[in-house]
A = this chain, B = another copy of it.
Amino acid sequence: MKTLRSDCPVSRSLDIWGDKWSLLIIRDLFLAKQLTYGELLKAPEGIATNILAARLQLLEQSGLIEKLDHPDSKAKVLYKLTPMGVDLLPIMIEINLWAEKYFPIPADRKAMLKEVKMDKEGFIKAAMKELKRA
């Protein structure tokens, strides 16, 4: 998805992360804060390695994620969300809440959403602060 289709904010957003994989990568980065290439590859949905590489590059170009040197090894790379990427959290939360309403979802995720529903704004604020700190 290379060309800008319109200046509608929904369209602009989808031009960046509106594919089958980007939001799953972003989900994993929300849950883990930072991951190596190999760890991202292990996502249960089974993304192909070339697709992962392409998406990571696109997300980095778009400013949603950034590459970091791994503290333990030069062979490893860490990926994490930029502030712009962290700002996707409210969208991610709403997606989870929507899906929870219509599909059975894993218990651990359900537990997280219980917290969210008790104080959505507070949860998001705290989570975003934590993500932007690290």
Min Cβ gap A54→B in Å is 16
Are A106 and B7 in contact, with the CB atoms below 8 A?
yes
Among the listed stretches A32-40, A73-81, A84-92, A126-134, which one makes contact with chain B, having 4 or more residues with CB under 8 Å of it? A84-92
Min Cβ gap A107→B in Å is 11
Most B C-beta atoms less than 10 A away, residue of A1, A10, A46, A98: A10
Are B10 and A27 in contact, with the CB atoms below 8 A?
yes
12 further contact pairs, Cβ within 8 A, besides A5-B46, A9-B100, A90-B97: A1-B20, A5-B45, A8-B24, A8-B109, A9-B95, A9-B99, A12-B99, A13-B99, A19-B19, A87-B102, A91-B98, A94-B94
- Chain A residues close to B by CB (< 8 Å): 1, 5-14, 18-20, 23-24, 27, 44-46, 84, 87-88, 90-92, 94-106, 109
Sample 25 A-B pairs with CB under 8 A, ordered by A number. Answer: A5-B44, A5-B45, A7-B103, A7-B105, A7-B106, A8-B27, A8-B45, A8-B105, A8-B106, A9-B95, A9-B99, A9-B100, A11-B45, A12-B99, A18-B18, A19-B19, A19-B20, A84-B102, A87-B98, A88-B98, A90-B94, A90-B97, A90-B98, A91-B91, A91-B94
